[in-house]
Chain A
Amino acid sequence: MATATETPTSNTHTQEAHWDGASKPFRVGYGKLMMWYFLVSDAFTFAGFLIAYGALRFSMPTWPVPDFVFKTLPFDLHLLIPGKIAPLIFVTFMSFVLIISSVTMVRAVQEGERENKSGVVKWMLLTVIGGAGFLGCQAWEWSNLIGKEHMSLTTNPFGTHVADGTYTVDEHGIPYAPGVEAETFEAGESYIVHQENGEWIKRSFQTVDQPGVVQKQEFGPRAFGALFFFITGFHGFHVFSGLVFLLIIALNSASGQYAARKNGYEMVEKIGLYWHFVDLVWVFVFLVFYLI
Protein backbone atom coordinates (compact mmCIF):
# COMPACT_ATOMS: atom_id res chain seq x y z
CA MET A 1 0.00 0.00 0.00
CA ALA A 2 2.84 2.32 0.81
CA THR A 3 4.17 1.92 -2.69
CA ALA A 4 0.80 2.66 -4.33
CA THR A 5 0.92 5.13 -7.14
CA GLU A 6 0.64 8.69 -5.99
CA THR A 7 -2.08 10.86 -7.44
CA PRO A 8 -1.67 14.61 -7.47
CA THR A 9 -3.38 15.99 -4.38
CA SER A 10 -5.22 18.63 -6.34
CA ASN A 11 -9.00 18.66 -6.45
CA THR A 12 -9.06 17.56 -10.07
CA HIS A 13 -9.63 13.89 -9.36
CA THR A 14 -13.15 12.67 -9.56
CA GLN A 15 -15.37 10.94 -7.05
CA GLU A 16 -14.53 7.60 -8.71
CA ALA A 17 -10.86 8.08 -8.00
CA HIS A 18 -11.58 7.99 -4.27
CA TRP A 19 -13.38 4.67 -4.56
CA ASP A 20 -10.81 3.15 -6.90
CA GLY A 21 -8.22 3.31 -4.19
CA ALA A 22 -6.22 5.74 -6.24
CA SER A 23 -6.14 8.48 -3.62
CA LYS A 24 -5.16 8.33 0.01
CA PRO A 25 -7.79 9.32 2.55
CA PHE A 26 -6.49 12.11 4.80
CA ARG A 27 -3.41 12.27 2.52
CA VAL A 28 -1.52 9.63 4.54
CA GLY A 29 -0.58 6.04 3.82
CA TYR A 30 -2.77 3.19 5.03
CA GLY A 31 -0.24 1.97 7.59
CA LYS A 32 0.23 5.39 9.14
CA LEU A 33 -3.52 6.01 9.37
CA MET A 34 -4.05 2.64 10.99
CA MET A 35 -1.20 3.34 13.43
CA TRP A 36 -3.06 6.47 14.53
CA TYR A 37 -6.26 4.47 15.05
CA PHE A 38 -4.38 1.78 16.93
CA LEU A 39 -3.04 4.50 19.20
CA VAL A 40 -6.58 5.80 19.77
CA SER A 41 -7.67 2.32 20.88
CA ASP A 42 -4.59 2.02 23.09
CA ALA A 43 -5.35 5.41 24.63
CA PHE A 44 -8.77 4.02 25.58
CA THR A 45 -7.17 0.99 27.24
CA PHE A 46 -4.84 3.16 29.28
CA ALA A 47 -7.70 5.50 30.12
CA GLY A 48 -9.63 2.51 31.45
CA PHE A 49 -6.73 1.68 33.77
CA LEU A 50 -6.35 5.28 34.90
CA ILE A 51 -10.11 5.61 35.48
CA ALA A 52 -9.98 2.52 37.73
CA TYR A 53 -7.03 4.04 39.60
CA GLY A 54 -8.66 7.45 40.01
CA ALA A 55 -12.09 6.15 41.01
CA LEU A 56 -10.61 3.81 43.66
CA ARG A 57 -8.22 6.45 44.95
CA PHE A 58 -11.02 9.00 45.34
CA SER A 59 -13.15 6.43 47.14
CA MET A 60 -10.56 5.71 49.85
CA PRO A 61 -10.22 7.76 53.03
CA THR A 62 -6.43 7.46 52.78
CA TRP A 63 -4.06 6.61 49.93
CA PRO A 64 -0.27 6.04 49.84
CA VAL A 65 1.44 9.33 49.03
CA PRO A 66 3.95 9.08 46.16
CA ASP A 67 6.65 11.19 47.82
CA PHE A 68 6.71 8.59 50.63
CA VAL A 69 6.48 5.47 48.45
CA PHE A 70 9.03 6.60 45.85
CA LYS A 71 11.76 8.18 47.93
CA THR A 72 14.77 5.92 47.44
CA LEU A 73 17.57 5.81 44.89
CA PRO A 74 19.59 2.87 43.57
CA PHE A 75 22.77 1.94 45.47
CA ASP A 76 21.37 3.73 48.55
CA LEU A 77 22.37 7.06 47.03
CA HIS A 78 19.46 8.74 48.85
CA LEU A 79 21.38 8.25 52.10
CA LEU A 80 23.89 10.84 50.86
CA ILE A 81 21.18 13.51 50.62
CA PRO A 82 20.47 15.62 53.72
CA GLY A 83 17.34 14.14 55.30
CA LYS A 84 18.21 10.76 53.75
CA ILE A 85 15.27 10.75 51.34
CA ALA A 86 15.02 11.57 47.64
CA PRO A 87 11.28 11.95 46.97
CA LEU A 88 10.37 11.57 43.27
CA ILE A 89 13.98 12.12 42.16
CA PHE A 90 14.39 8.71 40.57
CA VAL A 91 11.11 8.83 38.61
CA THR A 92 12.03 12.29 37.37
CA PHE A 93 15.26 10.80 36.04
CA MET A 94 13.25 8.00 34.39
CA SER A 95 11.00 10.58 32.73
CA PHE A 96 14.03 12.42 31.36
CA VAL A 97 15.38 9.20 29.88
CA LEU A 98 12.08 8.59 28.09
CA ILE A 99 11.82 12.21 26.88
CA ILE A 100 15.35 12.04 25.47
CA SER A 101 14.57 8.78 23.65
CA SER A 102 11.49 10.49 22.19
CA VAL A 103 13.68 13.34 20.93
CA THR A 104 16.18 10.97 19.29
CA MET A 105 13.19 9.28 17.61
CA VAL A 106 12.12 12.61 16.08
CA ARG A 107 15.64 12.98 14.71
CA ALA A 108 15.46 9.48 13.19
CA VAL A 109 12.19 10.37 11.42
CA GLN A 110 13.72 13.63 10.14
CA GLU A 111 16.75 11.81 8.73
CA GLY A 112 14.34 9.35 7.11
CA GLU A 113 12.59 12.17 5.30
CA ARG A 114 15.96 13.14 3.83
CA GLU A 115 16.55 9.49 2.84
CA ASN A 116 19.70 9.48 4.98
CA LYS A 117 20.12 5.82 5.85
CA SER A 118 23.04 6.06 8.27
CA GLY A 119 21.32 8.93 10.13
CA VAL A 120 18.14 6.88 10.54
CA VAL A 121 20.02 3.88 11.90
CA LYS A 122 22.16 5.99 14.24
CA TRP A 123 19.26 7.88 15.83
CA MET A 124 17.10 4.75 16.05
CA LEU A 125 19.84 2.91 17.92
CA LEU A 126 20.15 5.86 20.32
CA THR A 127 16.38 5.60 20.83
CA VAL A 128 16.76 1.90 21.62
CA ILE A 129 19.41 2.75 24.23
CA GLY A 130 17.08 5.33 25.83
CA GLY A 131 14.18 2.89 25.92
CA ALA A 132 16.34 0.15 27.40
CA GLY A 133 17.59 2.63 30.02
CA PHE A 134 14.01 3.42 30.97
CA LEU A 135 13.16 -0.27 31.27
CA GLY A 136 16.24 -0.79 33.43
CA CYS A 137 15.11 2.00 35.76
CA GLN A 138 11.67 0.44 35.97
CA ALA A 139 13.18 -2.95 36.73
CA TRP A 140 15.09 -1.42 39.65
CA GLU A 141 11.97 0.36 40.93
CA TRP A 142 9.93 -2.84 40.81
CA SER A 143 12.61 -4.97 42.43
CA ASN A 144 12.95 -2.38 45.21
CA LEU A 145 9.18 -2.37 45.81
CA ILE A 146 8.82 -6.16 45.64
CA GLY A 147 12.05 -7.36 47.21
CA LYS A 148 12.80 -4.69 49.76
CA GLU A 149 9.44 -3.15 50.65
CA HIS A 150 7.40 -6.34 50.09
CA MET A 151 4.64 -4.76 48.08
CA SER A 152 2.61 -7.28 46.07
CA LEU A 153 -0.53 -7.35 43.94
CA THR A 154 -2.65 -7.85 47.06
CA THR A 155 -0.51 -6.44 49.88
CA ASN A 156 0.21 -2.75 50.22
CA PRO A 157 2.54 -2.05 53.15
CA PHE A 158 2.16 1.73 52.78
CA GLY A 159 -0.36 2.92 55.35
CA THR A 160 -1.41 6.31 56.74
CA HIS A 161 -2.12 7.42 60.30
CA VAL A 162 -5.49 9.08 60.73
CA ALA A 163 -4.83 10.66 64.14
CA ASP A 164 -1.90 11.99 66.18
CA GLY A 165 -0.38 9.46 68.53
CA THR A 166 2.57 7.62 70.06
CA TYR A 167 4.07 4.23 69.28
CA THR A 168 4.24 1.74 72.14
CA VAL A 169 6.82 -0.51 70.45
CA ASP A 170 9.93 0.20 68.41
CA GLU A 171 10.59 -0.60 64.74
CA HIS A 172 11.26 -4.24 65.54
CA GLY A 173 7.99 -4.66 67.46
CA ILE A 174 9.74 -4.73 70.87
CA PRO A 175 8.25 -2.62 73.71
CA TYR A 176 10.29 0.45 74.54
CA ALA A 177 12.72 0.05 77.40
CA PRO A 178 11.99 2.33 80.37
CA GLY A 179 13.45 5.76 79.87
CA VAL A 180 13.52 5.53 76.09
CA GLU A 181 11.44 8.25 74.50
CA ALA A 182 8.68 6.74 72.34
CA GLU A 183 8.33 7.79 68.71
CA THR A 184 5.34 10.00 67.94
CA PHE A 185 3.43 10.63 64.72
CA GLU A 186 0.85 13.05 63.35
CA ALA A 187 -2.44 12.55 61.54
CA GLY A 188 -1.81 12.07 57.82
CA GLU A 189 1.71 10.75 58.36
CA SER A 190 2.69 7.77 56.22
CA TYR A 191 4.29 4.59 57.49
CA ILE A 192 5.53 1.38 55.95
CA VAL A 193 4.84 -1.97 57.57
CA HIS A 194 8.21 -3.74 57.57
CA GLN A 195 8.94 -7.42 57.30
CA GLU A 196 11.49 -9.13 59.52
CA ASN A 197 12.41 -12.77 58.83
CA GLY A 198 9.26 -13.15 56.73
CA GLU A 199 6.97 -11.80 59.48
CA TRP A 200 5.08 -8.55 59.21
CA ILE A 201 5.91 -6.19 62.07
CA LYS A 202 2.72 -4.23 62.71
CA ARG A 203 3.70 -1.70 65.36
CA SER A 204 1.16 -0.95 68.06
CA PHE A 205 0.37 2.62 69.04
CA GLN A 206 -2.08 4.82 70.93
CA THR A 207 -3.77 7.88 69.50
CA VAL A 208 -4.69 11.08 71.32
CA ASP A 209 -8.38 10.81 70.43
CA GLN A 210 -8.64 7.27 71.91
CA PRO A 211 -6.19 7.27 74.83
CA GLY A 212 -5.71 3.91 76.49
CA VAL A 213 -6.82 1.96 73.41
CA VAL A 214 -3.89 0.08 71.87
CA GLN A 215 -4.15 -0.02 68.07
CA LYS A 216 -2.03 -1.78 65.48
CA GLN A 217 -0.69 -0.59 62.17
CA GLU A 218 -2.80 -1.72 59.23
CA PHE A 219 -1.85 -2.26 55.60
CA GLY A 220 -2.73 0.54 53.20
CA PRO A 221 -5.52 0.36 50.58
CA ARG A 222 -5.31 -3.09 49.06
CA ALA A 223 -5.85 -2.08 45.43
CA PHE A 224 -2.72 0.09 45.30
CA GLY A 225 -0.28 -2.72 44.48
CA ALA A 226 -2.40 -4.24 41.73
CA LEU A 227 -3.04 -0.84 40.15
CA PHE A 228 0.61 0.15 40.33
CA PHE A 229 1.97 -3.08 38.88
CA PHE A 230 -0.70 -3.36 36.19
CA ILE A 231 -0.49 0.22 34.97
CA THR A 232 3.29 0.69 35.07
CA GLY A 233 3.68 -2.91 33.87
CA PHE A 234 1.35 -2.36 30.93
CA HIS A 235 3.30 0.77 30.05
CA GLY A 236 6.60 -1.08 30.47
CA PHE A 237 5.28 -3.81 28.18
CA HIS A 238 4.59 -1.12 25.58
CA VAL A 239 8.14 0.16 25.96
CA PHE A 240 9.47 -3.38 25.59
CA SER A 241 7.45 -4.17 22.47
CA GLY A 242 8.44 -0.76 21.11
CA LEU A 243 12.09 -1.70 21.60
CA VAL A 244 11.59 -4.96 19.67
CA PHE A 245 9.95 -3.13 16.76
CA LEU A 246 12.57 -0.35 16.85
CA LEU A 247 15.33 -2.95 16.56
CA ILE A 248 13.61 -4.77 13.69
CA ILE A 249 12.98 -1.53 11.81
CA ALA A 250 16.52 -0.28 12.46
CA LEU A 251 17.89 -3.54 11.01
CA ASN A 252 15.57 -3.29 7.99
CA SER A 253 16.66 0.32 7.50
CA ALA A 254 20.30 -0.67 7.66
CA SER A 255 19.69 -3.38 5.07
CA GLY A 256 18.34 -0.79 2.64
CA GLN A 257 14.83 -2.24 2.60
CA TYR A 258 13.11 1.10 3.22
CA ALA A 259 15.49 3.09 1.03
CA ALA A 260 14.27 0.96 -1.89
CA ARG A 261 10.67 2.00 -1.18
CA LYS A 262 11.56 5.67 -1.71
CA ASN A 263 8.75 6.87 0.55
CA GLY A 264 10.79 8.86 3.05
CA TYR A 265 11.16 5.91 5.46
CA GLU A 266 7.44 5.83 6.26
CA MET A 267 7.96 2.73 8.39
CA VAL A 268 10.29 4.71 10.65
CA GLU A 269 7.63 7.37 10.91
CA LYS A 270 5.05 4.77 11.97
CA ILE A 271 7.19 3.29 14.74
CA GLY A 272 8.00 6.89 15.68
CA LEU A 273 4.29 7.57 16.24
CA TYR A 274 4.09 4.52 18.48
CA TRP A 275 7.19 5.53 20.42
CA HIS A 276 5.93 9.07 21.02
CA PHE A 277 2.65 7.58 22.21
CA VAL A 278 4.53 5.54 24.81
CA ASP A 279 6.13 8.80 26.00
CA LEU A 280 2.72 10.47 25.95
CA VAL A 281 1.20 7.76 28.16
CA TRP A 282 4.10 8.18 30.58
CA VAL A 283 3.20 11.88 30.90
CA PHE A 284 -0.14 10.79 32.37
CA VAL A 285 1.16 7.83 34.38
CA PHE A 286 3.75 10.22 35.84
CA LEU A 287 0.98 12.72 36.63
CA VAL A 288 -1.45 10.40 38.38
CA PHE A 289 0.98 8.00 40.10
CA TYR A 290 3.86 10.22 41.06
CA LEU A 291 2.94 13.90 40.98
CA ILE A 292 -0.58 14.14 42.42
Chain B
Amino acid sequence: MADHLSYEQSKKMVFRGLGLLAAITLVEVLFSLAGKGYVPGLGFLSGGGVTVYIVGFILIALSLYKAKFIIYDFMHMKYEAKGLAMTVLLPVGLLFWGMIAFFNEGNYWGERRDDIKDRNKIEVSAPPAVSPIERSPVASPQVLGQDQ
Protein backbone atom coordinates (compact mmCIF):
# COMPACT_ATOMS: atom_id res chain seq x y z
CA MET B 1 0.00 0.00 0.00
CA ALA B 2 2.82 2.32 0.82
CA ASP B 3 3.87 2.07 -2.81
CA HIS B 4 0.64 3.76 -3.89
CA LEU B 5 0.95 6.88 -1.76
CA SER B 6 4.02 8.44 -0.20
CA TYR B 7 4.11 8.61 3.59
CA GLU B 8 3.40 12.33 3.56
CA GLN B 9 0.53 11.89 1.09
CA SER B 10 -1.05 9.12 3.11
CA LYS B 11 -0.81 11.19 6.29
CA LYS B 12 -2.65 13.97 4.51
CA MET B 13 -5.27 11.48 3.28
CA VAL B 14 -5.97 10.44 6.87
CA PHE B 15 -6.73 13.92 8.14
CA ARG B 16 -8.69 14.78 5.00
CA GLY B 17 -10.69 11.63 5.76
CA LEU B 18 -11.30 12.75 9.32
CA GLY B 19 -12.63 16.11 8.11
CA LEU B 20 -14.79 14.45 5.48
CA LEU B 21 -16.38 11.90 7.84
CA ALA B 22 -16.98 14.52 10.53
CA ALA B 23 -18.52 16.95 8.03
CA ILE B 24 -20.81 14.28 6.53
CA THR B 25 -21.92 13.21 10.02
CA LEU B 26 -22.77 16.83 10.90
CA VAL B 27 -24.72 17.28 7.67
CA GLU B 28 -26.60 14.04 8.38
CA VAL B 29 -27.58 15.18 11.87
CA LEU B 30 -28.63 18.56 10.44
CA PHE B 31 -30.91 16.90 7.87
CA SER B 32 -32.27 14.46 10.43
CA LEU B 33 -33.17 17.29 12.82
CA ALA B 34 -34.52 19.41 9.96
CA GLY B 35 -36.77 16.51 9.01
CA LYS B 36 -38.21 16.66 12.53
CA GLY B 37 -38.69 20.41 12.53
CA TYR B 38 -35.83 21.48 14.81
CA VAL B 39 -33.87 23.59 12.33
CA PRO B 40 -35.46 27.04 11.94
CA GLY B 41 -34.46 27.74 8.32
CA LEU B 42 -35.23 24.23 7.07
CA GLY B 43 -38.78 23.88 8.39
CA PHE B 44 -40.07 22.89 4.94
CA LEU B 45 -38.29 19.53 5.31
CA SER B 46 -40.53 18.54 8.23
CA GLY B 47 -43.81 18.75 6.30
CA GLY B 48 -44.37 15.00 6.14
CA GLY B 49 -45.42 13.28 2.92
CA VAL B 50 -42.78 13.38 0.23
CA THR B 51 -40.25 15.29 2.37
CA VAL B 52 -39.90 12.19 4.60
CA TYR B 53 -38.65 10.27 1.57
CA ILE B 54 -36.37 13.11 0.45
CA VAL B 55 -34.72 13.38 3.88
CA GLY B 56 -34.52 9.58 4.17
CA PHE B 57 -32.91 9.31 0.75
CA ILE B 58 -30.33 12.00 1.60
CA LEU B 59 -29.48 10.28 4.91
CA ILE B 60 -29.11 6.84 3.31
CA ALA B 61 -27.02 8.21 0.42
CA LEU B 62 -24.65 10.05 2.79
CA SER B 63 -24.29 6.97 5.01
CA LEU B 64 -23.49 4.80 2.01
CA TYR B 65 -20.88 7.33 0.94
CA LYS B 66 -19.31 7.21 4.42
CA ALA B 67 -19.30 3.40 4.25
CA LYS B 68 -17.65 3.48 0.82
CA PHE B 69 -14.99 5.90 2.04
CA ILE B 70 -14.19 3.80 5.12
CA ILE B 71 -13.94 0.58 3.09
CA TYR B 72 -11.95 1.97 0.15
CA ASP B 73 -9.62 4.44 1.89
CA PHE B 74 -9.33 3.44 5.55
CA MET B 75 -9.52 -0.32 4.96
CA HIS B 76 -7.42 0.04 1.76
CA MET B 77 -9.85 -1.94 -0.37
CA LYS B 78 -8.88 0.13 -3.40
CA TYR B 79 -5.37 -1.33 -3.26
CA GLU B 80 -6.48 -4.96 -2.92
CA ALA B 81 -6.74 -7.49 -5.74
CA LYS B 82 -9.98 -7.19 -7.67
CA GLY B 83 -10.94 -10.77 -6.81
CA LEU B 84 -10.67 -10.05 -3.09
CA ALA B 85 -12.78 -6.92 -3.41
CA MET B 86 -15.43 -8.80 -5.37
CA THR B 87 -15.65 -11.75 -2.98
CA VAL B 88 -16.17 -9.34 -0.08
CA LEU B 89 -18.35 -6.67 -1.66
CA LEU B 90 -20.66 -8.74 -3.88
CA PRO B 91 -22.25 -10.87 -1.12
CA VAL B 92 -22.72 -7.83 1.09
CA GLY B 93 -24.07 -5.84 -1.85
CA LEU B 94 -26.61 -8.56 -2.63
CA LEU B 95 -27.70 -8.35 1.00
CA PHE B 96 -29.15 -4.92 0.29
CA TRP B 97 -31.82 -6.63 -1.76
CA GLY B 98 -32.66 -8.78 1.27
CA MET B 99 -33.02 -5.66 3.39
CA ILE B 100 -35.30 -3.91 0.89
CA ALA B 101 -37.41 -7.07 0.54
CA PHE B 102 -37.85 -7.50 4.29
CA PHE B 103 -38.64 -3.82 4.89
CA ASN B 104 -41.28 -4.11 2.19
CA GLU B 105 -42.64 -7.23 3.87
CA GLY B 106 -42.74 -5.43 7.23
CA ASN B 107 -44.74 -2.65 5.63
CA TYR B 108 -47.20 -5.27 4.41
CA TRP B 109 -47.54 -6.69 7.95
CA GLY B 110 -48.45 -3.19 9.04
CA GLU B 111 -51.09 -2.85 6.33
CA ARG B 112 -52.54 -6.23 7.31
CA ARG B 113 -53.21 -5.08 10.89
CA ASP B 114 -56.45 -3.28 10.00
CA ASP B 115 -57.42 -6.10 7.68
CA ILE B 116 -57.06 -8.64 10.50
CA LYS B 117 -59.08 -6.43 12.86
CA ASP B 118 -61.86 -6.26 10.25
CA ARG B 119 -61.85 -10.04 9.82
CA ASN B 120 -62.09 -10.55 13.57
CA LYS B 121 -65.19 -8.34 13.62
CA ILE B 122 -66.79 -10.38 10.81
CA GLU B 123 -66.27 -13.66 12.67
CA VAL B 124 -67.88 -12.32 15.83
CA SER B 125 -71.03 -11.13 14.06
CA ALA B 126 -71.35 -13.99 11.54
CA PRO B 127 -74.03 -16.69 12.09
CA PRO B 128 -72.64 -20.03 13.31
CA ALA B 129 -71.20 -22.09 10.48
CA VAL B 130 -72.59 -25.36 11.90
CA SER B 131 -76.11 -26.14 13.08
CA PRO B 132 -76.90 -25.37 16.74
CA ILE B 133 -77.38 -29.07 17.53
CA GLU B 134 -73.79 -29.91 16.72
CA ARG B 135 -72.59 -26.91 18.66
CA SER B 136 -72.62 -28.16 22.24
CA PRO B 137 -72.04 -25.57 25.00
CA VAL B 138 -68.71 -27.16 25.89
CA ALA B 139 -67.16 -27.62 22.50
CA SER B 140 -64.99 -30.70 22.17
CA PRO B 141 -61.76 -30.27 20.20
CA GLN B 142 -63.24 -32.34 17.35
CA VAL B 143 -66.15 -29.97 16.96
CA LEU B 144 -63.80 -27.03 17.00
CA GLY B 145 -61.80 -28.75 14.31
CA GLN B 146 -64.88 -29.08 12.10
CA ASP B 147 -65.74 -25.49 12.77
CA GLN B 148 -62.61 -24.35 11.09
A58-B75 contact in complex given A27-B81, A106-B17, A290-B32, C-beta closer than 8 Å: no
Bound complex: CA A54 to CA B75 (Å): 28
Bound complex: CA A27 to CA B1 (Å): 12
A60 proximal to B (CB < 8 A)? yes
Bound complex: CA A61 to CA B107 (Å): 10
Taking CB atoms and an 8 Å cut-off, the chain B residues in 75-126 that contact chain A are: 75, 80-81, 83-84, 87-88, 91-92, 95, 98-99, 102-110, 113
**How many pairs, one residue from A and one from B, have CB atoms within 8 Å of each other in the complex?**
144
Bound complex: CA A280 to CA B98 (Å): 19
B28 touches A291 (CB 8 A): yes
Residues of A within 8 A of B70 (CB): 102, 276, 279-280, 283
| Count of residues in A whose CB is under 8 Å from the partner chain | 54
A100 proximal to B (CB < 8 A)? yes
Bound complex: CA A279 to CA B70 (Å): 8
Residues of B within 8 A of A47 (CB): 92, 95, 98-99
Residue of A nearest to B70 (CB): A280
B2 proximal to A (CB < 8 A)? yes
Task: Tell me the smallest distance from the CB of A96 to a CB of chain B, in Å.
Answer: 6
Stretch among A37-45, A148-156, A226-234 lining the B interface: A37-45
B107 touches A114 (CB 8 A): no
A87 touches B33 (CB 8 A): yes
A28 touches B84 (CB 8 A): yes
Bound complex: CA A60 to CA B7 (Å): 52
| Count of residues in B whose CB is under 8 Å from the partner chain | 51
Task: Tell me the smallest distance from the CB of A217 to a CB of chain B, in Å.
Answer: 20
Task: Tell me the smallest distance from the CB of A213 to a CB of chain B, in Å.
Answer: 18
Taking CB atoms and an 8 Å cut-off, the chain A residues in 32-62 that contact chain B are: 33, 36-37, 39-40, 43-44, 47, 50-51, 54-61
Bound complex: CA A103 to CA B18 (Å): 6
Residues of A within 8 A of B33 (CB): 67, 87-88
Task: Tell me the smallest distance from the CB of A286 to a CB of chain B, in Å.
Answer: 8
Residues of B within 8 A of A37 (CB): 87-88
A99-B98 contact in complex given A27-B81, A87-B36, A287-B59, C-beta closer than 8 Å: no
B56 proximal to A (CB < 8 A)? yes
A36 touches B84 (CB 8 A): yes
B38 proximal to A (CB < 8 A)? yes
Residues of A within 8 A of B83 (CB): 25-26
Bound complex: CA A66 to CA B32 (Å): 10
Residues of B within 8 A of A36 (CB): 84, 87-88
Residues of B within 8 A of A103 (CB): 14-15, 17-18, 21, 74
Bound complex: CA A272 to CA B18 (Å): 16
A26-B26 contact in complex given A67-B36, A102-B70, A106-B74, C-beta closer than 8 Å: no
A58 touches B25 (CB 8 A): no
Residues of B within 8 A of A102 (CB): 21, 70, 74
Task: Tell me the smallest distance from the CB of B80 to a CB of chain A, in Å.
Answer: 7
Q: Which 5 A-B pairs have the closest CB atoms?
A: A55-B106, A58-B106, A59-B109, A26-B84, A59-B110
The interface of chain B, by Cβ under 8 A from chain A, is 1-2, 7, 10-11, 14-15, 17-18, 21-22, 25-26, 28-29, 31-33, 36, 38, 56, 59-60, 63, 66-67, 70-71, 74-75, 80-81, 83-84, 87-88, 91-92, 95, 98-99, 102-110, 113
Residue contacts A-B, CB under 8 angstroms, 6 given: A37-B88, A40-B87, A58-B104, A114-B7, A283-B67, A291-B32
Task: Contacts A55-B102, A276-B70, A291-B32 known; list 13 others, CB within 8 Å.
Answer: A58-B107, A59-B108, A65-B36, A67-B36, A88-B29, A99-B22, A107-B14, A113-B2, A276-B74, A279-B74, A283-B66, A287-B63, A291-B31
